[in-house]
Amino acid sequence: MILSKPEIRRRLDSGRLSIDPVPSDSRIGAVSIDLRLGRKFTSFKQGGLPEHIPVIRVRPSLFGSMDLWTHEEVDTFDIEPRGFVLAQTLERVGLPNDLMGLVEGRSSWARVGLSVHLTAPKIDPGFNGTITLEIANMGPAKVQLVAEEDEPAQLMLFELREPLDAADLYGADESDIFQYQSEPIPRNRR
């Protein structure tokens, strides 16, 4: 079951859903919560891969490579056509054992060519942290992203038929490297 605005508000008010800062009523839609951009942006360094890195393999060590990433904390970020950046939500989201979320882009952003997440919309029960947005510009023009103002994504919440046990929640396993994230990539663990 998808949570509606009254159910979202009740869960926020009772503490059965944690979003910090708490969204105003104007940011809670009929079945979703609008999410704002945070100030941290991570992108691949200009110029491509360094010579000593012939190919990227997706491993936890990838995120710690100082040779690949540029990290910025800024009020605005311009994303060029065919550009890609990892951003984060301003909001820190904590999901209980009976909710899962889906992050989706908003149509106004898609209409200028921005994809807000490439393949990772699912937020597991137990997750606690900021949500990383994988933003790609497929449009013909540079797009300026404004931190703490722009709302390029929305979070839909789904109630599970049966809540998960603590051992099955996201973050229960050491391999859950995105738990408690406060950066677009997991540079700090817990």
Q: Which of the residues 134, 148, 162, 174 is marked catalytic?
A: 134
Whether residue 80 lies in the annotated active site: no
The closest alpha carbon to 26, from 134, 151, 168, belongs to 151
Amino acid residing at 98: D
Q: Which neighbouring-strand residues pair with 88?
A: 132
Q: What is the DSSP annotation of 11-72? A: HHHHTSSEEESPPPGGGB-SS-EEE-EEEEEEEEPTTSS-TT--S---SGGGGG-TTTEEEE
For residue 14, the one-letter residue type is S
Do 62 and 122 meet the contact criterion of CB atoms below 8 Å apart?
Answer: no
> Which residue numbers are catalytic?
134
